[in-house]
Amino acid sequence: MNILKRINLKQNFELSKLFLKEYVLVKQSLVVIGISLIFSLLIIQISIPKFSVSATLREAQSSGGGIQIGTGGSSSSILSKVVGTSSLDKSYDEIISNMRSYVVAQRLWEKGWGLEIFGNVELDKEDFSKIPKKHTLTDRLIAWITGYQLNEFYSAHDLQAYIKATINTQRDLKQTNITVSTLARDKDFAIRFISAVILETDNYAKEYLIAKSNQIIESLFDQLAVSKNSSISAALSNSINNEYFKIATLKNDMPYNVYFIDPPHSSEYPVTPNISAILISNIIIFLFLSTSYLFILKNKDELW
C-alpha cells in the first residue's frame, strides 16, 4: 500500500485525462487521422501486391551407410579403411548449398529461366545469353569514376543471386520437413520456378553422385589391375560392385534428396502490402506527431 500511495494513481489518472483532453481529443486530431488515411491509401495504391508461394519437402529416406554386396565382413572392413563408404543420406545444409550453388543456377539458366526472369518477349529462347543488363544512373556514374566495366548482359551468376535473394528455406523444429517459400507478384511463375529449382537441385545431386561413382570405379579398376594381395583385390571388387549398385539405384525418376509433401502452391490473397498494419501504424505516427506539435506549441515558453 505504501508503494501505491507514493505513486498516487488518482493524481496521475487526472493528469492523463487532462493531457488527452488538451492535446489528443481535439479537432486537429480528426484532421490528422483523415490525412493519415489518405497517405495510407496512397501507399497501398503504389505498393505491389505479392503472394506467398511455398512448398513443403521431406528428406528422402535413402539407404544409408554404404551398400555391401557379395563378400564377407573381412573385405567390408578392409574396404571401409581403404576407400570408405558413401552415405546416401543428405543433410539439410547440403540440400540448401546445392540449391544456392552456381551449378544449379547454370543448369536452370540453360533451360531458359534467365530469359523468363530478366528477359522480355522480344527475345528468342536461344538468346538467353544475350539478355541486356540495365544499370542505374548511379551504378554507371560510380563505374565511370572508379574506372571499372559493368557487365553488358545477364549471366547465370545473376540467376544464382536471384535465387539466394528470393527463395527462403526453413526447417521445422522436429527437423523432418523443409519449407521452401518466396514472395512473388506473379504466383503462377513462382510456382513453376520453385518447382524447377527443387527438382533441378535433386537431379544435380543424383548426377553428381553418379559421376563420382564412375570416377571411383575407373580408379578402382586401375588399382585392381596391379593388386597382388587377394584380400585387397576382393575388397576392391566388392567396392566396384557397390558403386555399380549405387549407380543403378540413382538412375531413376525417384527423388534422391527430397520429395514433395505439399507441392508448390500460392496463398489465395496477397500477403503484402498489409493494409491493416499500414492504416494503424500511420494513424499512430500522425497522432504522435500532431500531439507533439501541440504540446511544444502550447508549452514553448516553459520548454525554452
Q: List, for residues 175-233, the tens digit of each pLDDT value.
A: 778 899 999 999 999 999 999 999 999 999 899 999 999 999 999 998 888 888 888 88
Q: Is the pTM of this model over 0.75?
A: no
Q: Give the span between the Cα atoms of 36 and 48, in whole angstroms.
A: 20
2 pLDDT band, cuts 50/70/90, is low
Indicate if 29 and 145 belong to the same structural domain. no
Nearest to 84 by CA among 213, 207, 211: 213
* 33-63 confidence digits (pLDDT tens): 999 999 999 999 999 999 999 999 988 754 4
Residues whose CB falls within 8 Å of the CB of residue 179, separated by 6 or more in sequence, listed in order = 54, 55, 56, 57, 169, 170, 171, 172
Residue 258 lies in a domain: yes
Indicate if 218 and 167 belong to the same structural domain. yes
Indicate if 157 and 11 belong to the same structural domain. no
For 110-137, give the DSSP string: HTTHHHHHH--TTS-GGGGGG-BPP--H
Indicate if 240 and 107 belong to the same structural domain. yes
Q: Which domain holds residue 171?
A: 52-266
Q: How far is CA 175 from CA 11, 53, 58, 181, 273, in A?
A: 55, 21, 9, 17, 31
Indicate if 182 and 206 belong to the same structural domain. yes
Position 304 pLDDT exceeds 50: yes
Indicate if 94 and 179 belong to the same structural domain. yes
Q: Per mean pLDDT, which of 49-63, 66-80, 247-261, 275-289 is the most reliable? A: 275-289
Indicate if 39 and 135 belong to the same structural domain. no
Amino acid at 248: A
* pLDDT for residue 250: 86
Q: How far is CA 198 from CA 46, 59, 152, 155, 164, in A?
A: 33, 12, 29, 20, 13
Position 279 pLDDT exceeds 70: yes
Which parts of the chain are beta strand (E)?
Answer: 51-59, 168-171, 177-184, 258-266
Residue 34 lies in a domain: yes
Structural domain count, the chain:
2
* pLDDT for residue 161: 94
Indicate if 42 and 66 belong to the same structural domain. no
* pLDDT for residue 74: 43
Residue 281 lies in a domain: no
* pLDDT for residue 252: 82
Residue 296 lies in a domain: yes
Up-side HSE of residue 14: CA atoms within 13 Å toward CB?
Answer: 4
Residue 65 lies in a domain: yes
The whole-number average pLDDT for the span 159-186 is: 89
Residue 273 lies in a domain: no
Position 69 pLDDT exceeds 70: no
Indicate if 120 and 13 belong to the same structural domain. no
* pLDDT for residue 174: 72
Alpha helices of 184-256 — where are they, by DSSP H? Answer: 187-226, 230-250
* 115-145 confidence digits (pLDDT tens): 888 876 555 656 667 788 888 888 888 988 8
- The grid coordinates listed for 294 are 501541440
Rounded mean pLDDT of the chain? 82
CATH number of the structural domain spanning residue 83:
3.30.1890
Residue 180: strand pairing partners = 55, 169
Residue 80 lies in a domain: yes
Indicate if 180 and 299 belong to the same structural domain. no
Indicate if 62 and 89 belong to the same structural domain. yes
Residue 177 lies in a domain: yes
Indicate if 90 and 38 belong to the same structural domain. no
